[in-house]
Amino acid sequence: HRLLSSASSRSGRRLPLPPGPKGWPILGNLPQLGAKPHHTLAALSRAYGPLLHLRLGRVHAVVASSASVAAAFLKTHDANFSSRPPNSGAEHVAYNYQDLVFAPYGPRWRTLRKLCSVHLFCTRALEGFRHVREEEAGVLARALLGRRGSAADVGEEVNVCAANALARAVMGRRVFGGGLGRETEEFKEMVVELMRLAGVFNLGDFVTGLGWLDPQGVVARMKRLHRRYDAMLDKMIADHVAGGGEDLLSVMIRLRGQPLDDDGTTISDVEIKALLLNLFTAGTDTTSSTVEWALAELIRHPRLLAEAQREMDSVVGRGRLVSDDDLAGLPFLQAVVKETFRLHPSTPLSLPRASTGSCEVGGYHIPGGATLLVNVWAIARDPAVWPCPLEFRPERFLPGGEHTHVDVRGTDFELIPFGAGRRICAGMTMGLRMVQFLTATLVHAFDWALPEGQTPEKLDMEEAFGLTLQRAVPLQARPTPRLSPEAYGAQTR
Ligand code: HEM
């Protein structure tokens, strides 16, 4: 491939841009993206091929919609695509790029990422927090036990659990007290609002001179949201008892102002708040929505729910809740989680990347500074790779299935819910473990029924708009306990 590309460049022929639909003057293809860009882009790729070129205002964008095109960008050309494009969300919400998610590829990004890895996500840290996950899952199970007979808002219950488990790992304490209420509702609403705003293709980001006009009102909403987050984060830092704790926040507070690497990177309260913002937004709703989708699929497929429960009964029994150690021995449950990530990836267009220099992919010219969108949603439904792509069939990942060895961790490009390459999801190990563990807990500890008048076949599986894949209609379901009463533990919190 490389030989071929240098030959064509040597011949002096200017390579063409990848194919794509004709756009409007000035706005380019922006008006065509519609309410669900990942659907629109999937349809365009069916017409123009898996490597698509769009014009978003003045910005060149390329869209990868097959496993091999994704690999070309996120493996072969990953170094060139390891920054993120400039955007008003990073500017107005994420402390003007002082965070990890939007930091330009360079020393500060590397330092922040390493801090998270050492104190939160590496194997040792992850093992250290297993009791936190188990305790918080126990709290969730008891909360649902308290709701037996009535419909529970599964997404919100799980979201509180994910936020508390994450908070205990990040700063040694929970963020929410017992039960759901105004506070927990407001937190989820803030994360969902952030994802909704981040999912808008904001005209000001693409069309010169439109920024100050803010025609969609997005920037005004971002600034309002930022003020709310900033107040919350200030309080988190102020309330933090900075002892000699080994949690990430204590460590960062101790490291304030000191050079952290050869480049003299230092962190201040701004970087600390920006990183906390990243962790609490990237790490809660992604996890809880995935668990919510998983449970919705299992309720729609009672045979699969029964199969998962059979597996857990034989491995765990009915006398206790699932533990972290059990996960490795639950292949069917793991296949259910993979199949959920395939059909309902938390970030259907991943997060955008931006190239530093121009390059060549598949015989096409990719301009320097181009935005890369990877349609992980479309790739995971590609009929050339996945038989019956729209059917929820966890068996495809089990021995004897067509995709036994396919993993979600960024090496098998046909299934990359966490992205791939240098900027792959920083919290992948924790996110994956949490999704598996909480799905296991819900399935093992309860039978699930839909509220009066709803039938599994007709359960609404529509997606809502946003950077993350929310359910349009939140799942309401009635839990009935199926373990021995002692298994749920004492109602302590
Ligand atoms: C269901 C769980 C999750 C999914 C599906 C998910 C997915 C993703 C994706 C697709 C990206 C972009 C990767 C790329 O550019 O190639 C990303 C980035 C990121 N995620 Fe996650 N995520 C999840 C959970 C988490 C959790 C639990 C955390 C932290 C507590 C987290 C923190 C981050 C951060 C900090 C980045 C930016 C990394 C960088 O730019 O270097 N995520 N995630």
Q: What is the pLDDT of residues 134-180, one digit of tens each?
A: 999 999 999 999 988 899 999 999 999 999 999 999 999 888 887 78
Residue with tokens 């969609």: 216
pLDDT attached to residue 179:
74
DSSP H or E stretch at residue 163? helix 154-171
pLDDT attached to residue 175:
87
Nearest residue CA, atom 21 of ligand 1? Answer: 425
Residue 492 has pLDDT above 60, yes or no: no
Instruction: Give mean pLDDT, residues 196-213.
Output: 90
pLDDT tens per residue across span 453-488:
999 999 999 999 888 899 999 999 999 999 999 999
Give the CA dihedral 366, 370, 375, 379, nearest 10 degrees: 20
Instruction: Give mean pLDDT, residues 334-356.
Output: 97
- Relative to the CA of 376, which ligand 1 atom is closest? 10
Instruction: Give mean pLDDT, residues 431-459.
Output: 96
pLDDT tens per residue across span 32-87:
999 999 999 999 999 999 999 999 999 999 999 999 999 999 999 999 999 999 99
Residue 11 has pLDDT above 60, yes or no: no
DSSP H or E stretch at residue 481? strand 476-481
Residue 91 has pLDDT above 50, yes or no: yes
pLDDT attached to residue 316:
98
Cβ–ligand 1 contact at 425 (below 6 Å): yes
Nearest residue CA, atom 34 of ligand 1? Answer: 426
pLDDT attached to residue 8:
46
Q: What is the mean pLDDT of the chain?
A: 93
Cβ–ligand 1 contact at 435 (below 6 Å): yes
The number of beta carbons lying within 10 Å of the beta carbon of residue 68 is: 14
Share of the chain above pLDDT 90, in %: 86
| Global ipTM | 0.99
Instruction: Give mean pLDDT, residues 112-124.
Output: 95
CA 470–ligand 1 middle distance (angstroms): 16
CA 213–ligand 1 middle distance (angstroms): 31
| Greater model confidence, 213 or 278 | 278
Burial of 140 (0-12, 13-18, 19+ CB in 10 A): buried
* Residue 343 contacts residue 469 (beta carbons within 8 Å): no
| Greater model confidence, 338 or 179 | 338
| Greater model confidence, 381 or 4 | 381
CA 31–ligand 1 middle distance (angstroms): 28
Nearest residue CA, atom 42 of ligand 1? Answer: 427
Ranges of beta strands (E only) in 323-383 are: 353-354, 359-361, 364-366, 371-374
pLDDT attached to residue 3:
39
pLDDT attached to residue 101:
97
CA 301–ligand 1 middle distance (angstroms): 29
CA 417–ligand 1 middle distance (angstroms): 9
Residue 243 has pLDDT above 70, yes or no: no
Cβ–ligand 1 contact at 105 (below 6 Å): no
- Relative to the CA of 341, which ligand 1 atom is closest? 5
Report CA-CA distances (Å) from 41 to 245, 374, 375.
47, 10, 8
CA 173–ligand 1 middle distance (angstroms): 22
The answer to whether the annotation marks 425 as part of a ligand binding site is yes
Q: Candidates 418, 424, 433, 436: which one to mutate for ligand 1, based on the most atoms within 8 Å of Cβ?
A: 418
Measured between alpha carbons, how far is 148 from 182 in angstroms, rounded to an integer?
22
Residue 5 has pLDDT above 50, yes or no: no
Nearest residue CA, atom 20 of ligand 1? Answer: 425
CATH number of 2-369+380-488: 1.10.630.10
Strand 476-481 relative to strand 353-354, pairing: unpaired
Read off the pLDDT band of 25 (50, 70, 90): very high
Instruction: Give mean pLDDT, residues 339-367.
Output: 97
Residue 10 has pLDDT above 50, yes or no: no
Nearest residue CA, atom 11 of ligand 1? Answer: 425
Cβ–ligand 1 contact at 232 (below 6 Å): no
CA 422–ligand 1 middle distance (angstroms): 12
Residue 1 has pLDDT above 80, yes or no: no
Nearest residue CA, atom 31 of ligand 1? Answer: 427
Provide the whole-model pTM. Answer: 0.95
Read off the pLDDT band of 409 (50, 70, 90): very high
Burial of 147 (0-12, 13-18, 19+ CB in 10 A): middle
**Which alpha helices (H) appear in 11-145, and where do they start and end?**
37-48, 67-71, 88-92, 107-116, 123-128, 130-145
CA 286–ligand 1 middle distance (angstroms): 8
What is the C-alpha radius of gyration for the chain, rounded to an integer number of angstroms?
23
Residue 107 has pLDDT above 50, yes or no: yes
Residue 7 has pLDDT above 60, yes or no: no
Residue 333 has pLDDT above 50, yes or no: yes
Instruction: Give mean pLDDT, residues 241-246.
Output: 73
Nearest residue CA, atom 4 of ligand 1? Answer: 418
Cβ–ligand 1 contact at 219 (below 6 Å): no
Read off the pLDDT band of 444 (50, 70, 90): very high
Cβ–ligand 1 contact at 225 (below 6 Å): no
CA 446–ligand 1 middle distance (angstroms): 29
pLDDT attached to residue 241:
74
Q: What is the DSSP string of 262-273?
A: TT-----HHHHH
pLDDT attached to residue 255:
92
